[in-house]
Amino acid sequence: MSAFWSAWVTVITLAVILGCAWLLFATRKGEKFKETTEETVGHVYDGIEEFDNPLPQWWFYMFVATVIFGLGYLMLYPGLGNFKGLLGWTSANQWEQEMQHAEEVYRPVFAQYATLSVEDLQKPENAAGLKMGQRMFANNCSVCHGAAGTGAIGFPNLTDNDWLYGGEPATIKQTLVNGRNGGMPAWSAVLGEDGVRDVSSYVMTLSGQEAIPGTDISNGEKQFQALCTACHGQDAKGMHALGAPNLTDDIWLYGGSFKQIAHTIRAGRAGVMPAQKDLLSEDKIHLITAYVYSLSNK
């Protein structure tokens, strides 16, 4: 915050507090803590008059106390522009202290399950560990993959046993630790619009769908074999090493309609799974791995 805006915030904040205090004392009746009066404010509404009584003593002192508290708080904690407060407190430091405390409390619990394999964590006696993995999945992964892990357009379904990079525990953990960067190149410049339509129609037939009328399936197959098999394989069943999806199982990451497939081929796709190694400890990643593994091995 610049010096100008810091001064602006400070002046406005103090002016409001001190202005309220001035208003409180300026309008206070001369006769100290007078409880009743026969005077009225001069207003009559529907036969009702309002007496011009001063503030009750308890209310007056409570107002004064809030003013004193406000000034004291602003001296100790941030609130006046760039002034950090006499205690040097920050929300970031508070959060770090709480996270450190939680880490110290729960580290032994995570370490207990870290000694078990992902397969062992599937056993009923280790259900508590798997439940912890589920909660961490909800906090860190569900925003993309959904609360139940069923995914969305562009985000893989983790419950259907169809994996881009493989569903073995070690592979899942590697994905969580280092992340993934998937890339489907755009072929519009190479194929042209007619070629995009032909290949899209051919790809639809690979999963048992009907070809689109007016497209040349034989040309689509020819172009597919020339351009796509390097990643998707001769049988179009994909390749885990490259993260290339299986095109024969009617499971689609970006949708399996003609329009969606054509867009993928025409413009390409770029998917990113962020690495978690700098965000989560190894023990936490281990429990999330176990939970993700359980979703497709129930």
- Known binding-site positions for heme c: 141, 144-145, 184, 228, 231-232, 273
Instruction: Report how far residue 119's alpha carbon sits from residue 222's, in angstroms, rounded to the nearest whole number.
Output: 44
Distant-in-sequence, close-in-space partners of 273: CB < 8 Å, separation ≥ 6: 175, 179, 180, 181, 182
Q: How many CA atoms lie within 13 A of 122 on its CB side?
A: 13
Q: Are 261 and 200 in contact (CB under 8 A)?
A: yes
In 3D space, the residue among 146, 153, 231 whose CA is nearest the CA of residue 185 turns out to be 231
Four-point Cα dihedral 234, 236, 238, 242, nearest 10? 60
Q: Which residues are annotated as a binding site?
A: 141, 144-145, 184, 228, 231-232, 273
**Angle between helices 258-267 and 188-206 in degrees, nearest 10:** 150
